[in-house]
Structure 1
Amino acid sequence: MITAILIDDEYYALEGLKQDLDDLGTVRVLGTYENGQEALSQVADLRPDLIFLDIEMPETNGLELFDQLLEAHPQAAIVFVSAYNQYAIQAFELNAMDYLLKPVLPERLEKTLKRLEKKLPPPIQKQLSLHCFGHFAIQVGGEEIVIPWRTKKAEELLAYLACLKGQFVAKEKLAGTLWPELSREKSQSNFYLTFHYLKKQLTEAGLELPIESERGKVRLNLKNLELDLACFEEKLPPTDQLSEKTAALAESAAALYRAPLLDGHYYEWSMAMGWRYEMTYQELTKKLAVYYQKRGDSHKAAYYQKASTRQE
């Protein structure tokens, strides 16, 4: 996703451009600035791909600010935005990427973004993963991303979708599960508001979690997402008798179960689900204890025997 900052001394022009970019869905706006010097002080830290820069501003105009911005962040592409066309020649002499006239038309904006996309290097794909055993966590490339949830229900909604392991669920059922104490109408109203906040906060955090809606149902698509619950179940041995191959898979599954499901979060809907995973883990570690006891590996046998009885 392209990242951008917007600089314009007119508040409504800033908000209008930001809304147009949000609607396109391919740009994450890192900041909006009515003061060019404030933007200049932050651009090196933000490192946006693209800077939308107004020309006629008090104190330092956009043409003067151009070189200062590039000196602070040389990799940025700069697009001038102006209500007047008389600065176009100067803008292109400065090697601006584009020059847009206000009001900016969405189709013209889209054309500018497509030009930029061709120049940007392909993004490095980092593994996106969700962890439900232990505290609920989102990770990118092995690093946890902490999101300051606007509402805890947004986090709970994402956790619920994760626990369904890619299955579609009716939005009405989701609403009733997360707000069982409310009327049908009120719970559905809360759901749609929370769903909006969830997607908005994920986008603001630069996370493209594949949440899909279809005919009144929603799901988390696991195609390009690593989910510990799904990995755990895939590695479970099909029989009680472990072989060398299935024992290795069983150990991988046991290692994923670091702590109980959504540990530290009390959700009524997750209680029975968490109990089933705990029982599965205990049975799994018992099998491993028996397997290693038969092989004469007393250390591993003792380790898994202890693990199997930790909450009994």
Structure 2
Amino acid sequence: MLQAYLVDDELHALNMLELFLNRTDKVNVIGRSINGFEALDALRNIRPDIWFLDIEMPGMNGLELAANIHEVDPDAVIVFTTAYDQYAVSAFEHEALDYLLKPIEMERLSRTIERLNKEKRPSTRQSHLDGMTNQDELIVEVLGSFRVARANGENLMWRTAKEKELFAFLLLDNPVTSAVHRDRIIEELWPDETYEKAKIYLHTCVSLLRKNLRNLGIEQLLSYKNEQYMLDRKRIKADVYDFLAFSFLMQQPENIEIAHMEQALHGYKGELLPQEDYAWVSGLSHRLENFALECIITLSGTYLAHNNGKKAVEAAERAISQSPYEEEAYRSAMQAYLLMGKHDHVLRIYRNLVERLAELHIQPSTVTRQLYEQIRFPD
């Protein structure tokens, strides 16, 4: 039987709602309050299956109460009750299960309860997913694209752009501990909104994200504690995490082998979230791009040290493609072609460099010019 908590400043409305709920034989009313403050006190000790909240109440209205409930219990199911239909849009911004107009009709209330029972009942699809291997694992690609899927290839479908951005922010903002404070999320994702309205939007997006993950068969991936949201990183395989882990290894390059660099760069498919216009992502994106460029140039030099001109050229050309003004990449390509005896390619690379640097009103460095002179005027 469902457990319900009722909040309404009108005692008559409370009594009628409790009477109707009892008549359904599917709901047990475990508490009731005449204002939002009493309800929040009760929330310290209970977690009902469903909250019935009146909207028009003094001190704290139902919309504000819903935001506060979701602050403590992001998965809380809300049904709003009101005599005014102008609140409908605001109600569903809170991801409310339903919106009941007063005077409440028994038939309409029964449909709400039936809907909640259906959503709580495990589906055949869910039972099937529960029996799969790696059922709780999420595969995430954010380098060169943005894709979130189960291990079986089933993609997560986004309902709103902000829900999608929230997931990306939680994934990337704090790669070390994964915990992100609520106010930091609000500051970055809703900088132009009032704090109270931004909190409502955040709760709505959290609810949407949890629901979509649940529909995908992923439970309890997103948690909330001490005003911080966090993803369970142990259940997420993300290309960016692998690349960041390699960046830490590169702090001790003497322990890195060619195979390690090749594997890491194979996973770097391109810019971080290239198709998403997220202002907050630019800093991390630039750091990853610079590190990838550094790795590619280092790899080219390592190939040269092993007299592998062909591989060295491939790495250097990739670096040039990624950063057309990086002189060291051109120089690596020139050295690789020189090793291979392809002097005409050395000249071509040098001319391309000169043209690029001319756009910045600078010339190649002395080291690069000396390398070029070895071709023009060999000993």
Shorter-chain TM-score category? 0.5 to 0.7
State the number of aligned residues.
213
Question: Residue 140 of structure 2: which of 130, 141, 152 is its match?
Answer: 130
What TM-score comes out, normalization by structure 2 length? 0.51
- The answer to whether residue 19 in structure 2 is matched with residue 19 in structure 1 is no
Q: Does 1:277 align with 2:282?
A: no
Alignment gaps of 5+ in structure 2 = 1-106, 324-379
Q: Secondary structure at the match of 2:159?
A: coil
Match for residue 377 of structure 2? none
Partner-residue secondary structure (3-state), 1:19:
helix
- Equivalent in the alignment of 1:163: 172
| Deviation readout 1:122-168 (Å, 9 max, x if unpaired) | 43225421111122111323625151x22100000001111133520
Partner of 1:206: 217
Match of 1:191 in 2: 202
Counterpart CA distance in 2 for 1:189 and 1:204 is 23
The correspondence of residues 48-127 of structure 1 with structure 2, limited to 5 A, is 48=125, 122-125=131-134, 127=137
CA deviations 1:10-56 (Å, max 9, x no partner) are 98766534423645xxx544xxxxxxxxxxxxxxxxx6578xxxxxx
For residues 221 and 182 of structure 2, the distance between their equivalents in structure 1, rounded to whole angstroms, comes to 16
**Matches of 1:176 and 1:191, distance apart in 2:** 11
Q: What is the alpha-carbon root mean square deviation over aligned residues? A: 2.8
What's the secondary structure of 1:309's corresponding residue?
Answer: helix
The answer to whether the 8 Å contact 1:282/1:308 transfers is yes
Alpha-carbon distance change, 303 to 157 in structure 1, aligned in 2, over 3 angstroms: same
Contact 2:300 2:316 survives alignment (8 Å):
yes
Counterpart in 2 of 1:152?
A: 161
Aligned to 1:213, what secondary structure does the other structure show?
strand
Question: Could you tell me how far apart the structure 1 residues matched to 2:172 and 2:140 are?
Answer: 10
- The offset of 1:248, in angstroms, is 1.4
Q: Which portions of structure 1, spanning 4 or more consecutive aligned residues, are displaced by more than 4 angstroms?
A: 10-15, 47-50, 239-243
Indicate whether 1:238 and 2:250 are aligned: yes
Question: Could you tell me which residue of structure 1 aligns to residue 153 of structure 2?
Answer: 143
The separation in 1 between residues aligned to 2:154 and 2:277, in whole angstroms, is 21
The letter of the residue matching 1:181 is: D
Three-state SS of the structure 2 residue aligned to 1:212 is strand
Give the superposition deviation at 1:267.
0.3
* Structure of larger gyration radius: 2
Bigger relative contact order (CA 8 A; separation at least 6): 1
- One-letter amino acid of the structure 1 residue matched with residue 141 of structure 2: H
Letter in 2 for 1:292: Y
Q: Which runs of structure 2 are paired with 1:169-180 in the superposition (5 Å)? A: 169-180=180-191
Out of 241, 259, 266, which is 1:255 matched to?
A: 266
Helix, strand or coil: the match of 2:235? coil
**Matches of 1:304 and 1:251, distance apart in 2:** 10
Q: Distance in 2 between matches of 1:155 and 1:233?
A: 22
Give the equivalent residue in structure 1 for 2:311. 300
Aligned-residue sequence identity (percent) comes to 21
- Normalising to structure 1: TM-score of the pair? 0.61
1:234, 1:263 → 2: CA distance? 21
2:217 is aligned with what amino acid?
Answer: G
